[in-house]
């Protein structure tokens, strides 16, 4: 028998999509029965109370979590999101309901052995409820009490060789697309660099030292499967510099109907026979492709590597061999001064271990932002406030046309004094000699 | 809000052990937080961090950014964690009697 009646939540058990309510009820029932005789370290019926407090919120249309919460583990300034229920008497199981962020592996590949161990730990010392995964990438343990935090941390580090993720004004947990592990578009090893930089910047991740949060994300190609361009302050997007590789035989295979366009992604509807002219050549954003006499040609100098043709004909068209990545800076959500996506900072850089060149740029960006950034000012906002040029100066990057979508249309142009002959020190009397008042 | 008794004084605190009112801060509070935050021995450097935080808060009405705290005290962040294992927010600000840090933490 459930502890709280949940008539509103019960409605979310119908329908075809996996119901989080059914799952929570299942976990609640499992904790009540406790077939493995676990000595639960947090309230045994905490999952019942999650359902109860959520039902109350459905009824009121308001949240029932108190403001904020500052908890953590010694040595770190982040990793745990403290949370307390504002109706602790009614729902004692969630009086404390802290969230722990656990740093996930690259590409989120797991073995069942590892996941089972994590689950055993979390069942014992937490609510048994998780988020796989948080938007930033972390494994999220949802709901435990303050005294359990150090216990869980001890267990994770000593027996799982596993660390917490980031929270607060610091480097948040970096994440990546699956990259070359199972994608033929990957222009660099996203998982290798994500792992290397996560390890390199552990201090920055665990001990908030920044004006505000800062995120890295690594996309193997411009398809951006981890959405780095929208969701990371520094976005790494794979690309190549030489020619797209064309397999004319495979092109013929597509034209002849042997291969489905977009690897069959649109097979749910009849779009007619594949028309290479209309679906590839005619859609190329720069119009740099030609299909004549059964041969496909690409003027690679005019190609912006948007991925469209490769996406449509993955068997016939392949990324080039001279590979690297672009770095874009400043993406953020709307607060405070409006949403931003990453702006191109480094058009092309090699992604080769030990990534020294890339680290140099990252650290130059940090040096500038840590010194100049205001309290709770994202990198994107500092770029707006001080100007993109300041970012280029800080990173020692030469301005190139690729840095802008279009040149400025207003004439409010600043010059440096040393660029202007005679400088700024002028004498009005000298001027008056030639111009009467 | 719960109250804690320490050294003959009583303090009203929130769930995270932050004092409810900056003006109720006292030497006993420092001793209480020392115990809570895993600090063995209070030295001059702890006191310096606490007094810098209090001065800054009195003057500006907010806690200083980490960078400012480092600059004014001359302590690198690493050293601040050596002094306050929970860090400048949960450790030092709590001991200084400042309000609980807020935001996306």
Q: Quick one: which of A379, A107, A69, A53 has its CA closest to A217?
A: A107
CB contact under 8 A, B89 and A77: yes
CATH code for the structural domain at A7-159: 3.30.70.2500
Tokens of A9: 């939540």
Q: How far is A88 from chain B (nearest CA, A)?
A: 12
What is the domain partition of chain A in residue ranges?
Answer: 7-159, 175-239+325-417, 245-318
**Within 13 Å of residue A407, how many CA atoms lie on the same side as its CB?**
6
Chain B residues lying within 8 Å of A146, measured CB to CB: 15
Does B59 contact A at CB distance below 8 Å?
no
pLDDT band of residue B104 (cuts 50, 70, 90) is: confident
Q: Residue B101: which of A70, A209, A370 has the nearest Cβ?
A: A70
- CA A316/CA A323 separation, integer angstroms: 19
Chain A residues lying within 8 Å of B38, measured CB to CB: 74
Residue A212 Cα to chain centre, angstroms:
16
Q: Quick one: which of A179, A204, A168, A317 has its CA closest to A254?
A: A317
Q: Supply the pLDDT for residue B32.
A: 93
Q: How far is A375 from chain B (nearest CA, A)?
A: 7
Does A67 contact B at CB distance below 8 Å?
yes
**Of the CATH numbers 3.30.420.40, 3.40.50.300, 3.10.20.30, 3.30.70.20, which one belongs to the domain with range A245-318?**
3.30.70.20
- Print the SS3 string covering chain A: CCCCCCHHHHHHHCCCCCCHHHHHHHHHHHHHHCCCCCCCCCCCCHHHHHHHHHHHHHHHCCCCECCCCCCCCCCCCCCEECCEECCCCCCHHHCECCEEEECCCHHHCCCHHHHHHHHHHHHHHCCCEEEECCCCCCEEEECCCHHHHHHHHHHHHHHCCCCECCCCCCECCCEECCHHHCCCCCCCCHHHHHHHHHHHCHHHHHCCCCCCCECEEEECCCCCCCCHHHHCCEEEEEEECCCCEECHHHHHHHHCCCCCHHHHCCCCCCCCCCCHHHHCHHHCCCCCEEEECCEEEECHHHCCCCCHHHHHCCCCEECCCCEEEEEEECCECCCCCCCECCEEEEEEECCCCCCHHHHHHHHHHHHHHHHHCCCCCCHHHHHHHHCHHHHHHHHCCCCCHHHCCCCCCCCCCCCCHHHCCCCCCCCHHHHHCCCCC
> pLDDT tens-digit profile of B4-43?
998 889 999 999 999 999 999 999 999 999 988 989 999 9
- CA A191/CA A211 separation, integer angstroms: 27
B77 vs A230, B50, B105, CA distance in Å? 30, 15, 17
Q: Supply the pLDDT for residue A404.
A: 98
Chain B residues lying within 8 Å of A371, measured CB to CB: 67
pLDDT band of residue B2 (cuts 50, 70, 90) is: confident
Does A320 contact B at CB distance below 8 Å?
no
CB contact under 8 A, A69 and B15: yes
Nearest CA in chain A to B105: A168
Which 8-state DSSP code applies to residue B17? -
Q: How far is A176 from chain B (nearest CA, A)?
A: 22
CATH code for the structural domain at A175-239+325-417: 3.30.413.10
Written as tens digits, the pLDDT of chain A (437 aa) is 589 999 999 999 999 999 999 999 999 999 999 999 999 999 999 999 999 999 999 999 999 999 999 999 999 999 999 999 999 999 999 999 999 999 999 999 999 999 999 999 999 999 999 999 999 999 999 999 999 999 999 999 999 999 999 999 999 999 999 999 999 999 999 999 999 999 999 999 999 999 999 999 999 999 999 999 999 999 999 999 999 999 999 999 999 999 999 999 999 999 999 999 999 999 999 999 999 999 999 999 999 999 999 999 999 999 999 999 999 999 999 999 999 999 999 999 999 999 999 999 999 999 999 999 999 999 999 999 999 999 999 999 999 999 999 999 999 999 999 999 999 999 999 999 999 99
Q: Residue B65: which of A66, A71, A211 has the nearest Cβ?
A: A211
- CA A198/CA A60 separation, integer angstroms: 42
Does A75 contact B at CB distance below 8 Å?
yes
Q: Supply the pLDDT for residue A86.
A: 97
A420 vs A40, A161, A388, A414, B103, CA distance in Å? 73, 59, 21, 11, 45
Residues near A51 by beta carbon (within 8 Å), at least 6 away in sequence: A2, A4, A6, A9, A21, A24, A25, A28
Q: Is A379 exposed, middle or buried (0-12, 13-18, 19+ CB in 10 A)?
A: buried
CB contact under 8 A, B103 and A376: yes
Does B36 contact A at CB distance below 8 Å?
no
Residue A178: Cβ within 10 Å count: 17
Q: Residue B100: which of A68, A75, A370 has the nearest Cβ?
A: A68
**φ, ψ for residue B102 (rounded to 5)?**
-125, 180
**Within 13 Å of residue B10, how many CA atoms lie on the same side as its CB?**
4
Q: Supply the pLDDT for residue A347.
A: 98
Could you give the 3-state DSSP secondary structure of residue B59? Answer: helix
Q: Supply the pLDDT for residue A2.
A: 80
Pairing type for strands A216-219 and A234-240 reads parallel
Chain B residues lying within 8 Å of A66, measured CB to CB: 15
pTM: 0.94
Q: Let me know: does A316 contact A246? Beta carbons within 8 Å.
A: yes
CB contact under 8 A, A75 and B67: no
Chain A residues lying within 8 Å of B100, measured CB to CB: 68, 70
Q: Supply the pLDDT for residue A1.
A: 57
Q: Quick one: which of A207, A182, A171 has its CA closest to A73?
A: A207
b/e for A322-345, b at 16 or more Cβ within 10 A? Answer: ebbbbbbbbbbeeeeeeebebbbb
pLDDT band of residue B1 (cuts 50, 70, 90) is: confident
Q: Let me know: does A208 contact B63? Beta carbons within 8 Å.
A: no
Chain A residues lying within 8 Å of B65, measured CB to CB: 211, 375
Residue B84 has pLDDT above 80, yes or no: yes
Q: Supply the pLDDT for residue B102.
A: 85
Q: How far is B27 from chain A (nearest CA, A)?
A: 22
Chain B residues lying within 8 Å of A68, measured CB to CB: 100-102, 105
Does B1 contact A at CB distance below 8 Å?
no
Active site residues of B: 104
Nearest CA in chain B to A168: B105
Q: Supply the pLDDT for residue A134.
A: 97
Cβ contacts below 8 Å, chain A against chain B, sum to 67
A388-395 and A356-372 helices, crossing angle to 10°: 130
Residue A295: Cβ within 10 Å count: 11
Residue with tokens 């999509």: A17
CB contact under 8 A, A77 and B86: yes
Does A134 contact B at CB distance below 8 Å?
no
CB contact under 8 A, A74 and B62: no
Does A82 contact B at CB distance below 8 Å?
yes
Pairing type for strands B3-6 and A216-219 reads unpaired
- CA A233/CA A213 separation, integer angstroms: 9
Name the A residues in 372-391 with CB < 8 Å from any B CB: 375-376
């Amino acid at each position: 028998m459930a502890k709280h009646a949940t008539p509103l939540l019960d409605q979310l058990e119908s329908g075809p999509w996996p119901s989080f309510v059914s799952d929570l009820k299942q976990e609640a029932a499992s904790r009540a029965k406790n077939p493995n005789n676990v000595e639960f370290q947090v309230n045994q019926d905490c999952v019942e109370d999650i359902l109860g407090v959520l039902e109350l919120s459905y009824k009121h249309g308001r949240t029932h979590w108190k403001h904020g919460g500052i908890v953590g583990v010694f040595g770190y300034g982040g990793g745990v999101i403290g949370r307390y229920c504002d109706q602790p008497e009614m729902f004692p199981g969630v009086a404390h309901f802290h969230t722990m962020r656990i740093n996930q592996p690259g590409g989120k590949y797991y073995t069942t052995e590892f996941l089972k161990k994590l689950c055993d730990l979390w069942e014992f010392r937490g609510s048994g409820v998780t988020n796989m995964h948080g938007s930033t990438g972390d494994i999220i343990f949802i709901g435990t009490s303050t005294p359990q935090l150090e216990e869980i941390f001890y267990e994770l580090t000593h027996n799982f060789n596993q660390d917490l993720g980031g929270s607060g004004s610091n480097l948040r947990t970096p994440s990546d697309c699956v990259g070359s592990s199972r994608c033929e578009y990957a222009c660099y090893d996203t998982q290798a660099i994500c792992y290397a930089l996560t390890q390199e910047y552990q201090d920055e991740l665990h001990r908030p030292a920044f004006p505000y949060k800062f995120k890295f994300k690594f996309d193997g190609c411009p398809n951006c499967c981890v959405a780095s361009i929208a969701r990371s302050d520094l976005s790494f997007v794979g690309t190549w510099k030489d020619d797209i590789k064309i397999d004319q035989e495979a092109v013929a295979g597509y034209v002849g109907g042997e291969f489905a366009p977009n690897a069959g992604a649109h097979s749910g509807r009849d779009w007619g026979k594949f028309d290479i002219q209309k679906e590839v050549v005619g859609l190329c954003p720069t119009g740099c492709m030609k299909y004549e006499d059964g041969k496909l040609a690409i003027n690679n100098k005019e190609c912006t590597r948007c991925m469209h043709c490769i996406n449509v004909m993955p068997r016939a068209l392949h990324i080039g061999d001279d590979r690297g990545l672009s770095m874009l800076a400043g993406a953020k959500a709307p607060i405070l001064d409006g949403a931003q996506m990453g702006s191109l900072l480094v058009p092309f850089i090699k992604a080769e271990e030990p990534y020294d060149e890339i680290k140099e740029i990252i650290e130059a960006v940090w040096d500038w932002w840590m010194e100049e950034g205001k309290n709770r000012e994202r990198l994107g906002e500092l770029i707006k406030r001080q100007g993109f040029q300041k970012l280029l100066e800080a990173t020692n990057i030469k301005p190139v046309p690729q840095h802008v979508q279009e040149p400025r249309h207003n004439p409010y142009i600043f010059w440096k004094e040393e660029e202007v002959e005679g400088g700024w020190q002028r004498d009005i009397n000298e001027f008056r000699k030639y111009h009467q008042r | 809000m719960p109250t804690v008794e320490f050294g003959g004084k009583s303090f009203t605190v929130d769930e995270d052990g932050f004092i409810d009112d900056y003006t109720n801060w006292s030497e006993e509070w420092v001793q209480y937080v020392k115990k809570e935050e895993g600090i063995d021995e209070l030295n001059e450097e702890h006191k310096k961090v606490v007094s810098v935080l209090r001065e800054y808060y009195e003057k500006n009405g907010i806690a200083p950014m980490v960078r400012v705290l480092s600059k004014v005290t001359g302590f690198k962040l690493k050293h601040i964690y050596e002094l306050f294992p929970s860090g400048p927010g949960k450790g030092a600000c709590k001991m200084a009697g400042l309000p609980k840090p807020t935001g996306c933490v």
